[in-house]
Structure formats: structure tokens, C-alpha cells
Amino acid sequence: MPTKILLIEHNPDHILLTERILQAAHSEYQIDSVRETEGGIKKIIEEDYDLVISDYRLPGASALDILREIREKNIDIPFVVVTAVGNEKIAVDLMKEGAYDYVVKDASYHDILPMVVEQSIGRHSMKKAKEKAQEELVNAYQMTRDILEKSPFGISVVNDQGKVEYINPAMIEICGAKKEDFEELNYFELETYKQLGLDQKIKQALQGEGFFLEAVEYTSYYGHKRTIRNFTGVPVKDMNKRKVLMFVEDITELKVAEQKLAEAYQQLKETQEELIQSSKMVAMGQLAAGISHELNQPLTGVKGFAQAALMDLQEANPLRNDLQKIIEQADRMDIIIKNVRFFARKSEFKMEEMDINKPIEDSLGLLNEQLRVHNVRITRSLSEDILQIKGDRNQLQQVFLNLITNARDAIDALNRPEGGEIIISTSMSLDKKNIEIIFQDTGGGIPQEHLEHVFNPFYTTKSPNGGMGLGLSIAYRIIENHKGTVEVDSEEGYGTKFRITLPVGND
């Protein structure tokens, strides 16, 4: 591209002379000329010149006026003034207004003008390059700053005195602090950093050895509890001074979300298990009802025929003993069938307002003697202040009788001379919507893997004559019909706890 020069000069001879001088120096200069101020300014505005050469004195104006005008219009162009007579004051005024140089039309004009033109163009392009570099630097600085300030990772720079030189908002947030708080802080003396060995790690990083901590539970100096990971320290040099650049990722929220997810999953699993449990109960109930109904008649037959045979036999006949046993066993089967039917029965409940302590006391009264013989002590903590519930007293008594006998059996099975204890308590739940009944014993407990089976019908660990495995399934059904819940908690070797809740004001 040729270098375009605009010459503003009134005298045609001078125009010719200047053109000749410049072209002789640089053949690629492309020179336009105008003879008055207005036209000159117009051309400067409209066209793209690399340099303007203007005579100082122009018709009705001076080069100063042109300089002022283009400066007002924010046009940045190298501007050289030529004049017939040299004058210090004029020179100073021109420079003040932004002229690049000033040349006197004397004997040396021929040599000096091309030099001045070349220098001015060079100076201008250097100025432009410098401005561009500066602008790029500012942009780069702003961009870096933006990245640091908006980063979701905590970032800070510590100097070799342990002082914070830069800290970004994320890091301030992780510490639960304010920006000013870091002015006084010294990382080498921070207790919380010392606990993680970070003071030493930062010192090492200042010597050029970076560090990395995978995941840590961190309580900041300001008491903020966070879970952080990828805590990284990188040695850096700033104006030849050693510093450490630190990055941290805060995963506290992530951790909380994970925890909640795990809890939700656990809850889902429990609900699913409960669902399976209750549908199993329904199926078993139906099956049991059918079987017991079918068994009832043949059993009556067996018992009836055995009784008839017994009556026909002589007193001394040894078969009488066997028949007696048949009748006993038939009676036992009869009880089993009654129990099974009870279990299968839907809702023949006689609900009445009642004090829950009453059926508990009744059950204890019935078993009193037995418990004494088996060396089982009872500790009661029955609250007087509990609200009445609506329930079937006989059925609830049946629940409690079974829980107490189960506890007694568990204590008995341990065969300890000191026997054992059953603690029974009743109380109101905190929200006053339920009453809570707890039966806790010092028996041998239930192994973890059996816990889920204890409410299943016919699940028993007792000897063939000891239990039918119906007690807890019946209890479960009864409590369920009272819109309550039963839970078991047990630890092998330490005993078992049954917790029943029953809603108050249930109808």
C-alpha cells in the first residue's frame, strides 16, 4: 500500500516544490494537495491519510485551527507543519495542540522534510502498536480477573510470608468469611490449616514442590463446615517472588444431595419390604383360613371316635392311655385351628374407648404366677397421662400376652439362675397423636438375619411342642387392624424390644 500524504498549502509553487522533494525521497508516496483550510479538513475526515503536511499560514486561518478541529473530531493522524519563518512560540503552541513536528522552509528544507515525514509516520505507527498492545493487555487482565472472580472453584494466592495476596469470591464463600477478613490472616499460623498439615505444604510449595489433597472434611477458621476435594497448591513466580496458587473444589452440597438420595433409597426399600410383608400376610391368611376350615371336621371325627373307643374299653386296658393321648393331641390341634382362624379372620373387632394400661395389667395378672416361677421380673413404667384409645380389649390383651410369653421364653432359654427382666412402658408420642407401648426383655435376642421373619405366620424357633409361630403374626394383624404399627429391634445377646404405636381418637 502506498503511503498517502495530504498537503495543505496555498502557494502553488510551494506545492510543486514539496511534492518534488518527497517524491525524490520516496517514489511510493502518494501526495494529494488542497489550497485552503476547509477543503483540507474535509479531506482529512473523509479519506484515510497516513500523514498531513500543512503550511502554518493559510488564507484566513492557521495550521493551529486545523489541528484543533481534527482533535475535536478525535482524529488521530501524524501532522507536520511547515512555515516560512521559524519561531519558538509557534513551535511550542503547535506541539501543545498535537503537531508531530515543525519544519522551516529554509535552505535545509530539502533535506529535513523527508526525514521528518518518515520519522513522524514511524512514530505514529509505534504509538498505534503500543496502544493496541496496551488494550490487549487490559483485555487479557480483565478476562483473567473475570475467570478468577466467577470461577466456582476457590482460588487464592499466598505469598512467602503466609499472607493472602488474592482470594476469589468462591474461596471466601467456602471459608464462610468476608474479603476484609483475609487482610490480617496468616496461613502459616492458622490452626485449621495446621491440622491438615497445610502450613507445611504451603511452605514446601514455596520451595517449588506443589501439593494435592484428594478429599477432606474441613472446618474453616470462621467455623464453616465444608467437604472439599482436589485441594491443589501450585508454586508460581510473580515479579520474581515465590508464591503459591491454591485451588479448592467445594462438594458439600453434592455430599448432602448424595446423602439425601441414599436416605430416600433406604426409605423406598423399607416401604417395599413392608408392602411385601403385608401382602404375604394376606395370602397366608387366606390359605390358613381354607386349611383350618377343612381340618375342623375330620378332627372332630378323630376326637369323637377316640372318645367313643375310650368309653368302650375296660379300665385296665393298656390302650386307654394311647387313646387319652390321641384326645390330648386332637385338643391341641383344635387350639391351633382356632388360632389360625383367628389369624385369618378379617375384622370382627369390638372397638371401645379404653385405657391401654388396662389390658397390659390384665395380661400381667394372668401370667403373674408363671413369671414368678420362671424368675422373670417385671418393671412397669405405665404413664397415667395417656389419652384413651379406641380398641378391642380382648384382642389387645392377646397381643400383650404373646409379647410377654415370648419374652419369658427368650429369658428362659438362656437358663440363667438370675432369670431376667421385662420392662414395659406406655407413653404419649411427642406430637400427641399416638400412644407408644414398649416391651423390652433381657433374653437372648434375635439374630439380625431372622428379624425379618418373626412376623411371618408359622415362623418359630421353638421346639415342635413349644410354639406354633403364630403369636407375632396374630399380634401384627391385630395392631394393623387398630391402624397402629409394630416394630422389632433386637441385638443378639442383649435382648429384644417391641415397639407398638396406636393412634389416639381412632375410629
Ligand X SMILES: Nc1ncnc2c1ncn2[C@@H]1O[C@H](COP(=O)(O)OP(=O)(O)OP(=O)(O)O)[C@@H](O)[C@H]1O
Task: List contacts with Mg ion (CB under 5 A).
Answer: 402, 406, 471
Interaction with ligand X in 65-104: which residues (CB under 6 A)?
A: none
Instruction: Name the binder of 443 from ligand X, Mg ion, none, CB < 5-8 A by kind.
Output: ligand X
In Å, the largest CA–CA distance within the chain is 170
Decide whether 148 or 396 has the Cβ nearer to Mg ion. 396
CB of 406 to Mg ion, least distance (A): 4
Does 169 sit near ligand X (CB under 6 A)? no
For 220, the 3-state DSSP assignment is: coil
Among 467, 477, 478, 486, binds ligand X (CB under 6 A): 467
Does 479 sit near ligand X (CB under 6 A)? no
User: Helices 88-96 & 63-72, crossing angle to 10 degrees?
Assistant: 10
Does 252 sit near ligand X (CB under 6 A)? no
Does 442 sit near ligand X (CB under 6 A)? no
CB of 499 to ligand X, least distance (A): 12
Dihedral of CA atoms 197, 203, 205, 210 in degrees, nearest 10, equals -10
CB of 386 to ligand X, least distance (A): 23
Among 441, 479, 482, 484, binds ligand X (CB under 6 A): 441
Decide whether 443 or 471 has the Cβ nearer to Mg ion. 471
Among 470, 478, 486, 502, binds ligand X (CB under 6 A): 470
Does 462 sit near ligand X (CB under 6 A)? yes
Q: Are strands 79-83 and 101-104 parallel, antiparallel or unpaired?
A: parallel
Among 454, 479, 486, 500, binds ligand X (CB under 6 A): 454
CB of 455 to ligand X, least distance (A): 7
For 84, the 3-state DSSP assignment is: coil
CB of 408 to ligand X, least distance (A): 9
| Beta-bridge partner residues of 34 | 8
Decide whether 306 or 486 has the Cβ nearer to ligand X. 486
Residues 6+ apart with CB under 8 A from 168: 148, 149, 151, 154, 155, 156
Among 285, 359, 443, 484, binds ligand X (CB under 6 A): 443
What is the distance between the alpha carbons of residues 227 and 216, in angstroms, rounded to a whole number?
6
For 98, the 3-state DSSP assignment is: coil
Query: How many Cα atoms within 13 Å fall on the side-chain side of residue 474?
Result: 24
One-letter amino acid of 435? I
CB of 472 to Mg ion, least distance (A): 6
Give phi and psi for 76, each to the nearest 5.
-105, 105
Binding range to ligand X, per CB under 6 A, among 64-72, 114-122, 370-378, 454-462:
454-462
Residue pair 30/4 in contact by the 8 Å Cβ criterion: yes
What is the distance between the alpha carbons of residues 77 and 59, in angstroms, rounded to a whole number?
23
| x/- letters, 408..437, toward ligand X (CB under 6 A) | --x---------------------------
* Residue 7 DSSP class: E
CB of 367 to ligand X, least distance (A): 14
User: Helices 109-150 & 12-25, crossing angle to 10 degrees?
Assistant: 70
Interaction with ligand X in 383-412: which residues (CB under 6 A)?
A: 402, 406-407, 410
| Beta-bridge partner residues of 5 | 31, 51
Decide whether 81 or 404 has the Cβ nearer to Mg ion. 404
CB of 505 to ligand X, least distance (A): 30
Q: Is 170 exposed, middle or buried (0-12, 13-18, 19+ CB in 10 A)?
A: buried
CB atoms within 10 A of CB 132: 10
Residue whose CB is nearest to ligand X in the complex, by number: 471
Q: Given the rule CB under 6 A, which residues bind ligand X?
A: 402, 406-407, 410, 441, 443, 446, 454, 459-462, 467-473, 496
